[in-house]
Amino acid sequence: MRAPEELTERFRNLGLKVTPQRQGVFQALWGDDSHPTAEAIWGRVRETMPTVSLRTVYQVLNDLTDLGEINTVRLGSSPVRFDPNIDGHDHFVCEQCSRVFDVHAHAVVDLPEKHYPGFEVAATQIVFRGFCPDCARISAAAH
């Protein structure tokens, strides 16, 4: 994701309004590698802008996603998370603490379109599940 100042400039160049709410979301996401939910981002923005609505935060996140500035991370039944790291990578989800980590898998995947005519793959995402080092250590100490 670009720096908040760069996003502000990009929005202006595209003719999009640069509101304090948008800038608040830009700031809340900047440098965050925790893959926050919209609710978590909303909580951060509300610290300085108590009247901002969750709907507004979702709209800004959708705008950023549409512009390719952030990615959405869908991890099954849990809420959608937002990832400002748009470089190609995969994810590891800790089954104990639910934290999400960026990982770089080096796998060769046989895409369905190769074996099932008519399918067109638009995107892929590999999600590993297990225990992060902190939770694995706590679990080992308990046994």
The predicted-structure confidence for 52-98, as pLDDT tens digits, reads as follows 999 999 999 999 999 999 999 988 878 999 999 998 899 999 999 98
pLDDT of residue 125: 82
Residue identified by tokens 């549409």 is 66
Dist. CA 67–CA 56, nearest whole Å? 17
Residue 34 within a domain: yes
Where does the chain show beta strands of DSSP type E? 71-73, 81-83, 90-94, 100-103, 127-130
Specify whether 69 is located in the same domain as 108: no
The residue whose two tokens read 């190769």 is 114
Question: Hey, what are 114's tokens?
Answer: 């190769």
Is residue 131 domain-resident? yes
12 with 62, same domain: the answer is: yes
pTM above 0.75, yes or no: yes
CA distance 105 to 127: 10
Residue 134 pLDDT class (50, 70, 90 cuts): very high
Q: Domain containing 46: what range? A: 4-73
Beta carbons of 1 and 30 less than 8 angstroms apart = yes
